Structure 1
Amino acid sequence: MSQSLSFLCQLSAIFLRYPDELIKQESVELGTLISLSNLSIEQKKAFDEIRIFLEKTPLLDAQSQYVQLFDMSPSLSLYLFQHVHGDSRMRGQAMVDLLEEYRSAGLDLQGNELPDFLPAYLEYASVCDPQKTQELLTEIVDILAVLNRRLQERRSIYSGIFQILQEESKRLPDKEVVHAHLRDTAVMDDPATLDMRYEEKPVTFDHASSPAACSAACTGYSGKDHVEARA
């Protein structure tokens, strides 16, 4: 079971990154790995659906859908601390702390990928001991539940991954926390709200705890060699 959870986190990290040509080229190999794994039938089906979608969909279309979902919709941000700390100074310090955990495990981030990016977090979880991997999923179950709900509302094929991660966290989400977050972020993706957000003055971080500082300090991490961070 522990190996299955590690593999599950690794697969999720691969499929939740920005689609590129390599993910299409390695689709058959990934399909074989999924088929031979110890994942449940339902989990294999969910991963195969996203794998086939990425294989069959023209790359530009898959990339456009990804951007519309995760980059242009703040309520679906894959940056975990964005859902916890917003743009406050606390987010920068939390990322510095998480980066130290990655480095302690012998992992570094690639390019300008930030520590709280969910695929990076899942890559880290996949190389931890079984107990730590479980703890890492449990810690973010409420965020996973929120993202899962929003993706289900949009009938997105990506919702299957979040459903699996939520179930494997082995803890039920806090209904009050999830409901409050869904309520408070209901208008985040509204065009008028987005315009106001981008017109606001950026938050100023201390250099040591800023996202830019984190990014500048992070080099060489790919998790899997074929996955490259999006610029």
Structure 2
Amino acid sequence: MAGHSKWHNIRHKKAKMDAKRGQMFTKIIREITVAARQGGGDPEFNPRLRIAIEKAKKANMPVENIERAIKRGTGELEGVSYEEVVYEGYGPEGVAIIVECLTDNRNRTTGEVRHIFTKHGGNLGSSGCVSFLFEEKGVILVPKDKYDEETVFEKAIEAGAEDVVTDDEEFYEIRTEPKELYTVKEALEKEGLEIEKAELTRIPTTTVEIKDEETATKLMKLLDALEDNDDVQKVYSNFEMSQQLMEKVS
């Protein structure tokens, strides 16, 4: 689980430095469109849309882009129709991988995802082959340099969170039931806590330990290639490796 968390934090930092704004905007716009289509265009009554809009604002997306994406989702504007597709497979050493996509062409996306798995030493599996190894949770990140552990834990539990994980160097990871994510987030913000990120995620219940650099490099290239695909929204994996090895191959 630690490896999973560290990998996502490294990717988060890289995204800031690389500033792949075009690709980032594409993914966020798709999420806003689908969220509006499924739950309506009013963020007050659509938690998924609220989270997507917040992500867009953090990425400095122009307001007009956000509004157009919402209108495409609600049908007020014409646009491409996206569907949610989830792929499951294995990386090197049998590492479990789940890939969440939003696509306007399932056949194209399936071919591209399968090619990425094969090219980097993995293989695409059938639906359900690894999803049982993950739990769906809400995760809220709070910066460690601003609050002590006792304060965060107390406020999180009072707000309705399940647990607070402190493994990461930079952030407290507050975990919630998926349906409670936005309720807990709002309660924490009312208590004055700064929220770095809030999202629905999949947390591995068991991990595969990676010890050698060659295997780690293959795995990181596979995960990076999946995340760099335009149709891919999120990638989850159940690997674990040391911080030293993680930094070598990231």
TM-score for both structures, normalised by structure 1: 0.33
Please state which structure has a larger fraction of its residues in helix.
1
Please state which structure has a larger fraction of its residues in strand.
2
- Name which structure has the greater RCO, CA cutoff 8 Å, separation 6+: 1
TM-score for both structures, normalised by structure 2: 0.31
